[in-house]
Structure 1
Amino acid sequence: MTSLLSVTDLSRSPDLEEVSFTVERGEVVCVVGPPGNGGATLMECLAGTGEPDAGHIELLGVTVGPGDRRPPGLGAALRGEALPARMKVAEAMRLLSRLYGTRGLPGRLVDLLDLEPLLPKRFGRLTDGQRRRVMIGLALVGNPELVLLDDPTAGLGEGSRRRIEQAVDEVRAAYGGVCVVLDDLAQAERLADRVVLLRAGRVLAEGTPTRLIKLLGSTYVMGVPPHLRVDGLRDVRVLRGAAATYLYGSRPALEAAIQDLSPMSGDRVWSIRTPTLRDAYLTLSAVPEPAALEA
């Protein structure tokens, strides 16, 4: 079966270098990395607003090159997109519905994105969260098979974030595909079927969130203040960061570490937790030239 999106060795200096991944039907793929790691540039190349220097992009079975029109069945909501300030939301919905030849946004998506109260309003009078929900709604008006979203919930409140995540789930449930660029590793862990981790414009690792977390080879994690001396702890792997030092190991090993560290930390209560996708990213980023993991 042909992938909805296939990216092969995509490069654009200085932001991307030989990035490859796919999006299959019925899945959400999150491309994740801290700001400046190439996610926004990747989305521009996929949507056709930016041109790669090299590589291959196939969208819905169609190979697209620089300047090529994107095929029908693709919806996109990129960072910074906007409507004319005086245009009403309902006018934009009707216009795109006619262009796509659809009956408009399905009622369930209007409800999920809470767009009904916004329809009579002019775009320039909307809040950031409302604008983001409107642009995502417009990306879905054409009933697309593949949706591209560039950090759709950045800076939004919990209500808008939850509604957008539910809309993404709705696309997946309808057996479409979604490619989302995110900065938030916790959100990616919650939302994604597969994750592509980017570091400095290259694919650091790829796989399901569960599989990427298992790459740690550890069961538990504990964070301690960065000033504490942790040399000599037994059966514990140490990863130093600017805000904290992270200790990885079995629960007995971390409990033993607490006893060793207690004289230096007074009566502080330590928290031992299960690892997250963020822990996997931090650990993999600390390894020189890691090999990518295929899902």
Structure 2
Amino acid sequence: MTPLLDVTDLSKGQVLEEVSFTVERGEIVCVVGPPGSGKTALMECLAGAAEPDAGGVEMLGRTVGPGDPLPPGVAVSLGDESLPDRMKVAEVLSLFSRLYGTRGLPPRLLDLLDLEPLLPRRFKALTDGQRRRVMIALALAGNPELVLLDGPTTGLKPGSRQRIEQALGELRDGYGGVCVTLDDLAQAERLADRVVLLRRGRVLAEGSPSRLIRLLGSVFVLRVPSHMKVGRPREVRVLPYASSTYLYGSRPALEAAIQELAPLSGDRIWSIRPPTLRDAYLTLAAVPEPAALERGR
């Protein structure tokens, strides 16, 4: 079956280097990495807002070159989009529906995005989360097969984040395929069928969240404050970051490390946990980028 999106060796200056991945029908692919990893540049190249230096892009089986319009059935929502301040939400939804020749959003998506209370309001009166939900709704007004979203939940409060996450699940089932960029690895672990981990414009790894976590092997994780001197516990991998130090190893090895650390920590209660997608990223990245990834917790 032909992928809905096929990106091959896409490169742009120092920002993207030979990025390749696909989006199949019926799946959410999350492109994840810290700010500066190339996510927005990638999405701008896919949307036609920026021209790549090299590489190829196919959408819905059609090759899309620099300057070509997106094929019918592809919808895009970039993070910096806006509308005239005085336009009402109902007006703009009606306008986009007429342009696409559709009946607008299905009631289910109107409910998930909580748009009903916003319909009589002007765009300038909306919060950031409300504006983001409206822009996503406009992208979906044409009933697309492939949806491209750049950072749809970045900087939003939990309520808006949750509604957008629920809507993304609906898109996977009802529209075809979704490619979304995210900063938050925990969010990607919840949402994604497949994850593309980006670091400094290159693909670090790609696969389902569970597969990427399995790359760590049968390990557990112990997190300690960065100011503590951990040393070199036996059979434990130590990764120091700005605010925390992460220890990876078997449960017995980490329990032994706790015994060594106990005299330094007073009565602190230590917690050993299974690894997450964030741990996979930190381990695969090798070179720390702590500040951005700590914000994703």
Specify every segment of 5 or more residues in structure 1 that has no aligned partner in the other structure, as ranges: 289-295
* Deviation by residue 1:203-232 (Cα, 9 ceiling, x = unmatched): 000000001011111331001122333334
- CA-to-aligned-CA distance 1:153-172 (integer Å, 9 cap, x gap): 11111111111111110011
Residues 10-63 of structure 1: CA distance to partner in whole angstroms, max 9, x if unpaired? Answer: 001121000000000000000000000100000001111111111101111111
- Hey, what's the Cα distance between the residues in 2 that align with 1:142 and 1:237? 50
SS in structure 1 at match of 2:226:
coil
Matched AA of 2:144: P
The residue that corresponds to 1:7 in the other structure is 7
Which residue does 2:142 correspond to in 1?
Answer: 142
CA shift at 1:175, angstroms?
A: 5.2
Identical positions, percent: 74
Measured in 2, the distance between the counterparts of 1:224 and 1:69 equals: 51
> Is residue 153–residue 164 contact of structure 2 (8 Å, CA) maintained in 1?
yes
The answer for the alignment partner of 2:22 in structure 1 is 22
* Distance in 2 between residues matched to 1:232 and 1:34, nearest whole Å: 28
Distance 2:34 2:188 in 1: 12
The letter of the residue matching 2:64 is V
Paired with 1:142 and 1:227, the residues of 2 have a C-alpha distance of 53
Whichever residue aligns with residue 65 of structure 2, its letter is: G
SS across alignment from 2:99:
helix
Q: Distance in 2 between matches of 1:225 and 1:142?
A: 50
Q: Confirm or deny: 8 A CA contact 1:218 1:248 kept in the other structure.
A: no
Of 221-230 and 126-135, the range deviating more from structure 2: 221-230
| TM-score normalized by the length of structure 1 | 0.95
Aligned-partner residue type, residue 123 of structure 2: F
* Count of paired positions: 288
Between 1:122-131 and 1:18-27, the stretch displaced more is 122-131
Aligned amino acid, residue 89 of structure 2: V
**C-alpha separation between the residues in 2 aligned to 1:96 and 1:264?**
62
Tell me which residue corresponds to 1:191: 191
Local SS of the residue matching 2:234 = coil
Q: What's the CA shift string for 1:180-217, capped at 9, x where partnerless?
A: 00011110001000000000000000000001011111
Query: AA paired with 1:113?
Result: L
Q: Which amino acid letter does the alignment assign opposite residue 35 of structure 1? A: P
Cα deviations by residue, 1:101-123 (Å, 9 ceiling, x for unpaired)? 11111111111101111111111
Q: In structure 2, how many angstroms separate the alpha carbons of the residues matched to 1:47 and 1:210?
A: 29
* Residue correspondence of structure 1 range 161-200 to structure 2 within 5 A: 161-174=161-174, 176-200=176-200
Contact 1:128 1:156 in 2 (8 A): yes
Task: Give me the whole-angstrom Cα distance separating, in 2, the residues matched to 1:32 and 1:95.
Answer: 33
Give the aligned CA root-mean-square deviation in angstroms.
1.3
Q: Aligned partners of 1:161 and 1:247: how far apart in 2?
A: 31
Q: Which amino acid aligns with 2:161?
A: R
Matched, 1:82 2:82: yes
Secondary structure class of the residue paired with 2:167:
helix
1:282 alignment partner AA: L
- The 1-side partners of 2:232 and 2:12 are apart by 44
TM-score, normalising length: structure 2: 0.94
Is residue 272 from structure 1 mapped to residue 286 from structure 2 by the alignment? Answer: no
Higher mean C-alpha displacement, 20-29 vs 257-266 = 257-266
SS in 2 for 1:169: helix
Matched, 1:225 2:193: no
Separation in structure 2 between the aligned mates of residue 66 and residue 124 of structure 1, nearest angstrom: 34
Once residues 272 and 232 of structure 2 are traced to their aligned partners in structure 1, the CA distance between those partners, rounded to angstroms, is 19
Q: Runs of 4+ in structure 1 displaced over 3 angstroms?
A: none
Counterparts of residues 279-294 of structure 1 (less than 5 Å): 279-286=279-286
> Aligned runs of 1:65-76 on 2, under 5 Å?
65-76=65-76
SS in 2 for 1:66: coil
Aligned to 1:131: 131
Q: Is there any run of 5+ residues in structure 2 with no aligned partner, and where?
A: 289-297
Q: Which residue is equivalent to 1:35?
A: 35
Distance in 2 (alpha carbons) for counterparts of 1:179 and 1:206: 13
Query: Match of 2:98, as an amino acid?
Result: R
* Distance in 2, Cα, partners of 1:232 & 1:69: 56
**Structure 2 CA distance for partners of 1:87 and 1:131, relative to 1, 3 Å:** same
Q: Does 1:212 align with 2:230?
A: no
